[in-house]
Amino acid sequence: MNHFDYRNGVLHAEDVPLTLIAEQVGTPVYVYSQATLERHFQVLNEALAGTDHLICFAMKANPSLGVVATLAAMGAGADVVSEGEARIAMAAGIPAERIVFSGVGKTEEELVFALESGIGQLNLESYEELLELSHLAQRMGKTARIALRVNPDIDAGTHAKITTGLKENKFGIDWTQAHTVYKQAMRLDGIEVVGVAVHIGSQLTDLQPFQDAFLRLRDLTLMLQADGIPIQRIDLGGGLGVPYEPGVNETPPLPSEYAKVVKSCVGDLGCKLVFEPGRLLVGNAGILLTKIVRLKEGAVKSFVVVDAGMNDLMRPALYDAYHDIVPVKEPKPGAAKRAVDVVGPICESSDVFAAGRLLPMLYKGELLAFGTAGAYGASMASEYNGRPLIPEVMVKGDRFAVTRARPTYDAMIAAQKLPDWMG
């Protein structure tokens, strides 16, 4: 469910016409619906009712301050993979004790920051990282609350570039070695073992991989507890998909169906359950609003050139990802469609948002909305081709606010400086 729909012939974000945002903020621009964010969190939270749980928003999906603050106000924690994400989470109102710090490449500086800040849980991904953290904690007179991220060697059945639970992936500790590493962790000073963690990938549309991974984690948890290792928390990660192209080989399970699997696999172990959803909460809560620069007739294709580029939304170029594309001005019922390539201005052949997409007749200057752009859109954007990062807007009812302004070219250039010898 989202809050983007046509009213009086114009696509709205909640009660705000997207034409108004385009007029006042310009394009391209990301637009987020606060009502959708709140609704998605509420649905997942209600599905998990009856369990002792904490929903930690995966910040990598969308670290926009307004987005994170909305979820923080509803009681969310944060799953972070860098000091920067942790600082944004805390600035948005998430206390350190509700933060899980994940990631395979935490630097010494980031581990020190986590210890100083009182981060609630550090998910460690190697024995080497465990030893380094123990050394730092002893030196600082701190105790690190840790879980080991276990790699269960489960095929998530998702895109190869977003699967994380196979033994050839860089993430986690092989599940067959985890018991040994936990025993070693129990002997280390500065380390408090609190949990076990898993995350097998992103955009999963089948519950079976979840069940396989959770049952493997259940067996490990019972084994560890039998050996006196105090597993109090089970971190089940995230990964539940969202519908980008409804009805086309992609109908993700409902949160309620996912919750049934969770409860049947680990609900009776007496542990606090931690979840790390990202896309599930924010994917359908955001759109990318863009304007048609020109229409171009090629030798064999028709092109719709827009002012958004792959630097603003990388997913189609990176993953061949699908995003629904609709005109902001509502097409007439039964309007004729034709196949076009929707492309951006970037000097790369991969700057294609859709190839051969059937769209109604379009015109220069017309606005288009790219759906399900709230996750891994703005967070993966860059200044490639000398293009400033695009603004972000939050909508609540009939109000909207710019939560990230579009930098001027002068501001973008001022972030750099010449070497001293160039004067």
pLDDT tens per residue across span 139-159: 999 999 999 999 887 644 444
DSSP-assigned beta bridge partners for residue 54:
274
**CATH topology of 4-31+283-414 equal to that of 103-275?**
no
Q: Is 56 tagged catalytic?
A: no
How does residue 171 score in pLDDT terms, banded at 50, 70 and 90?
low
Report whether pLDDT(166) > 60. no
Query: pTM of the entire structure?
Result: 0.93
Please determine, for residue 167, whether its predicted confidence score (pLDDT) is greater than 60.
Answer: no
- The pLDDT-based confidence of 246 (bands split at 50, 70, 90) is low
Confidence (pLDDT) at 402: 98
Beta bridge partners of 30: 288, 392
**What pLDDT, on a 0 to 100 scale, did the predictor assign at position 203?**
84
d(CA 420, CA 4): 51
Q: What is the number of other CB atoms lying within 10 angstroms of the CB of residue 82? A: 19
Mean per-residue pLDDT over the chain, rounded: 93
pLDDT band, very low/low/confident/very high, at 173 (cuts 50, 70, 90): confident
**Secondary structure of residue 282 in the 3-state scheme:** helix
pLDDT digits (tens, 9 = 90+) for 117-140: 999 999 999 999 999 999 999 999
Query: What is the DSSP secondary structure assignment for residue 386, as one 8-state letter?
Result: G
Instruction: Determine the distance from the C-alpha atom of residue 325 to the mean position of all C-alpha atoms in its chain, rounded to a whole number.
Output: 21
Task: Name the least confident of 69-83, 202-216, 341-355.
Answer: 202-216
What is the architecture, at CATH level 2, of domain 4-31+283-414?
Beta Barrel (2.40)
State the fold for domain 103-275.
Answer: TIM Barrel (3.20.20)
pLDDT band at 248; cut points 50, 70, 90: low
The pLDDT assigned to 252 comes to 86
Mean pLDDT for 49-68 is 97
The ranges assigned to domains in the chain are 4-31+283-414, 103-275
Query: 46, 326 in Cβ contact below 8 A?
Result: no
Task: Quote the tokens at residue 19.
Answer: 């034409």
What is the pLDDT at residue 4? Answer: 97
Give the active site residue among 56, 265, 271, 347.
347
Residues in the chain, overall count: 423
